Amino acid sequence: TAAGRLIIKTEFLPTKYRGYMLPLSQVFWLAGSLLIIGLASVVIPTIGWRWLIRIASIPGIILILAFKFIPESARFNVSTGKTQAALATLQRIAKMNRSVMPEGKLVEPILEKRGRFADLLDAKYLRTTLQIWVIWLGISFAYYGVILASAELLERDLVCGSRSESEAESEVAVTLPDTEESHSPCHCHMFAPSDYRTMIISTIGEIALNPFNILGINFLGRRLSLSITMGCTALFFLLLNICTSSAGLIGFLFMLRALVAANFNTIYIYTAEVYPTMMRALGMGTSGSLCRIGAMVAPFISQVLMSASFLGALCLFSSVCVLCAISAFTLPIETKGRALQQIK
């Protein structure tokens, strides 16, 4: 859904506005993240986490009904020979903007074939595709790793390895009543209101660097901007190991959330711009698949490995981010100021 939404916006927005408007959509992602944290702080202590999942699924159901109001990409319609449908969409946009359609006709060539997976591995795009896949996997790994690690740090108080697993278990054994949940192998406790506040503050970080992210994308270019933010992400993962106060921990988590969100903004834009129309959705779709793999691996590091070796988990996250920074810096194509390509 996120990939499809971004592709449509990319194909509608002019080149000069793309680097500004797409990162601003992060505001709505932030709003959803804050809403679910606030909802969790109320629902989980009262009626349980299962009800949180039920309530959180409602917007997704409403979204299914809203899809019919989203216009199809005019570029896609033209490329498939549906010129009248494309004109109808453009006329609707002109009417909304209180403007008139310019004279002339749409002359984009009709594509005889759709993008195939083999096209992503064509000699022209092979290196770009492989490096993009590495970056997508690493960014997702870091993004969900930060989110899960935040919860893990707050639940188990493992900052700086100051408390061992056995100490955390003994505290749970003392403080929890003798219920079925007290014998859970999880050995975690309910979030306190201060923990939810920490999560909210760190989540707000996802938009904190948006102005700098927009400037970097538009003035430094997509590749350099992404390599810088990925390198800083690697650094802040390592800084989590510094023994600090609660405010210091919140500050590090705040910056990490800001950086991983900036990484996602940039790679979304780059991937949508680097591929031509016939391959754009396919390129975003395959990249999204790698993104899901990164998300699936993250819990094993941020929740399992982190409990056994806090520094080991941080070093692994940092190493992956360094690899992504190198991949971003060496991408063969810069898309800053580049018009969207229609065909290969």
Whether residue 283 contacts residue 3, with contact meaning beta carbons closer than 8 Å, is answered with no
Q: How far apart are CA 114 and CA 111, in angstroms?
A: 7
pLDDT greater than 90 at residue 227: yes
Mean pLDDT of all residues in 59-66: 82
Q: Is 56 within a domain?
A: no
Q: Is 282 within a domain?
A: yes
Q: Is 210 within a domain?
A: yes
Angle between the 246-274 and 222-239 helix axes, to the nearest 10 degrees? 160
Q: Is 69 within a domain?
A: no
Whether residue 271 contacts residue 283, with contact meaning beta carbons closer than 8 Å, is answered with yes
Q: Is 198 within a domain?
A: yes
pLDDT greater than 50 at residue 171: no
For the chain, the domain total comes to 1
Mean pLDDT of all residues in 292-320: 88
DSSP state of 219: I
Residue-level length of the chain: 344
DSSP string of 16-65, one letter each residue: HHHHHHHHHTHHHHHHHHHHHHHHHHHHHHHH-HHHHHHHHTHHHHHHHH
* Contacts of 129-134 spanning 24+ positions with Cβ under 8 A: 129/283, 129/286, 131/327, 131/328, 131/330, 131/331, 132/267, 132/270, 132/271, 132/274, 132/283, 132/287, 132/331, 133/286, 133/287, 133/290, 134/323, 134/324, 134/327
Domain that residue 299 falls in: 115-159+189-343
Degrees, nearest 5: CA angle 17-18-20: 70
Kind and range of the H or E element at 250? helix 246-274
Q: How far apart are CA 287 and CA 283, in angstroms?
A: 6
pLDDT greater than 90 at residue 231: yes
pLDDT in tens, 183-212: 444 555 667 777 777 778 777 777 777 788
Percent above pLDDT 90 for the chain: 15
Whether residue 76 contacts residue 11, with contact meaning beta carbons closer than 8 Å, is answered with yes
Q: Is 141 within a domain?
A: yes
> pLDDT higher for 254 or 156?
254
Residue 264 belongs to domain with CATH number: 1.20.1250.20
Q: Is 154 within a domain?
A: yes
Whether residue 277 contacts residue 10, with contact meaning beta carbons closer than 8 Å, is answered with no
Q: pLDDT-based confidence at 167, cuts 50/70/90? A: very low
pLDDT greater than 90 at residue 334: no
Q: Spell 307-326 as b/e; 16+ CB within 10 A means b.
A: beebeebbebbbebbbbbbe
Specify burial of residue 179 (Cβ count, 10 A radius: 0-12, 13-18, 19+): exposed
Q: For residue 32, give the nearest of 200, 150, 258, 152 by alpha carbon.
A: 200
Tokens describing residue 91: 């006329």
Mean pLDDT of all residues in 59-65: 82
Q: How far apart are CA 224 and CA 292, in angstroms?
A: 25
pTM recorded for the entire structure: 0.71
Phi and psi torsions of 35, nearest 5°: -65, -45
DSSP state of 71: P
DSSP string of 170-234, one letter each residue: HHHHHHS-SSTGGG-TT---PPPHHHHHHHHHHHHHHHHTHHHHHHIIIII-HHHHHHHHHHHHH
Q: Is 324 within a domain?
A: yes
Least confident range of 63-72, 88-97, 136-145, 213-222: 63-72
Question: Amino acid letter at 6?
Answer: L
Quote the mean pLDDT of the chain. 78
Tokens describing residue 184: 């859970």
Residue 123 CA, distance from chain mean position? 28
Whether residue 167 contacts residue 217, with contact meaning beta carbons closer than 8 Å, is answered with no
Q: How far apart are CA 109 and CA 67, in angstroms?
A: 28
Mean pLDDT of all residues in 293-316: 87
